[in-house]
Structure 1
Amino acid sequence: MVLAEGTRATARRVLCAAVRRLQEAGVPEPEASAEILLSELTGLRRGELYAGEFDLSRRQLERYAEWIAARERREPVQRILGYAYFRNLRLQLNEETLVPRPETESVVEAVLERVDRRGGSCRVLDLGTGSGAIAVSVAQERPRCRVYATDVSEAALRIARLNAAAAGVEVEFRRADLAAGLEDLVNGVDLLVSNPPYVPAGDIPRLMPEVRDWDPPRALDGGPDGLAFYRRIFSEAGRLLAPGAELVLEVGDGREGDVLRIGELYGYVARGVRTDLGSTPRAVLLSREV
């Protein structure tokens, strides 16, 4: 992305050059990647990048060239920036956190719906919180809830705590492997939510490089059939749930029926499915009967 001597380094020219490089490298949605990175670098809205002649400094050019080179290597935009946007939040990331995806926003919507049906106040537990996307969103949007969140990774919890502090909300974060170590919550959780690992182990090598090479493997690997963590949740978390408690679990494409059937085997009652913005079933709802 080197411009000829004496040529003005305008945002438009640099952006067009970046898009061509990403196209040649076979990067999916090259325009979106190039625009988002330049928008974040300059503070301009994406539509403004083409609207005028905005000169870039040498430092900006160097940084943008580094970012485009990283994107050519299929590093996700969010990893390059070190943060991701999710609902009303800008979430910091590290190597132990998944990049929060728009599909998971439908999981939050399902949680908020259940909270509202309970009068807007309840105890919510987010298992495997990662960056804190779900837990921090719930705490921000339903401040009367008491929100707990766990992760097995201390590095992930450090980031989640930073994200909660940045959002100005209180979430009680704990290091735990699913239900282990949460004895004080026995019979106290009204709503349990989780986005567990759900990719079948054998499918991981076939994932897009942005996921396969950059997301933490243990946040992806759902065991041989992709359902190992659901079995553990249904088996281990039941003792944490108050009578009549509800579960909202994110699921992989086409797996909603499998997860609901497993839940029913463990004595839970299926309460429905919620779709994401692409109309794909993304969250299953279950309850623990009194």
Structure 2
Amino acid sequence: MSEAPESWFDQPLAFTIADRHVRGRLVRLGPALNRIMAAHDYPPVAEKLLAEALVLTVLLGSTLKDERSQLTLQAQTGGGPVELLVCDYRGGELRGYMKFDAERLAGIGPDPSLFALFGEGFLAITFDHALTGERYQGIVPLEGASIGEAAEHYFEQSEQIPSLIRLAARRDPEAGCVAGGLLLQHLPEGEAGRDRLHLRREHPEWEHARTIAATLRDEELTDPATSLETLAWRLYHEDEVRVEPGTMVSRGCRCSIEHFAGVLAQFPETERREMADEGGVIPVDCAFCSRIFPIALDDIAARD
């Protein structure tokens, strides 16, 4: 294991087990997560779902090598009480928002299934690569017991990579909302390239690594007293594990008057005047941070 300082909150940990052709990531969100949650008064069911989605976003987004690239995760309803869930990650900046029918959500119980939350919805995962300008998007049905299982289906269908995803979230008396997650993937390479997916699923090295990872308990993922390095060691102490701490995660709402003024400047002047109130101000509501940004028409005109 590495001699670097240990990772506890808001910093993903990448690890590789070279002899088994396995790579993984662990993360536990705390302070950054609570700053995101503070923008809205989410009920427990909504808080848990959004917290797990934010963890998944970090696990996937932290794989991007360029800090200007972005990962966006969006789950949309197929008739369930959750109408929209969207999170994105860029260079360590994380944000997320969830829109739902509060009355219907309260009626589905404290531990609802994914179908009860979304109905026949879908999960879209989008990678925007800043260096090349390319965008890759995969869309899969929201199937399985959790949003993590739905993401596993994404990797199986879009990336052809056997993957295991574990997500957990809970309320801690001292740390507030705490959420943790594990992403484990098998990447065997042969002389002729990668094996077929159905063969790799049954590969003994992958089965060994996956079986061990499946023993990880929710309490361990969300335990503030256990470092991520300790979790990796507990799971794979029989193997040589190489770890590398990632970029610290922070609440990253990029909304500002300057940003919105620039966006509104792209609209025709006649449309901008229709949006404005009697005082010549366009109020812009940011769903991510739950703030109203007053944008004066004069400020927009100055950009024309």
TM-score (ref. length: structure 1): 0.27
Q: Higher relative CO (CA 8 A, sep ≥ 6), structure 1 or 2? A: 2
Structure with the higher helix share, 1 or 2: 1
TM-score (ref. length: structure 2): 0.26
Structure with the higher strand share, 1 or 2: 2
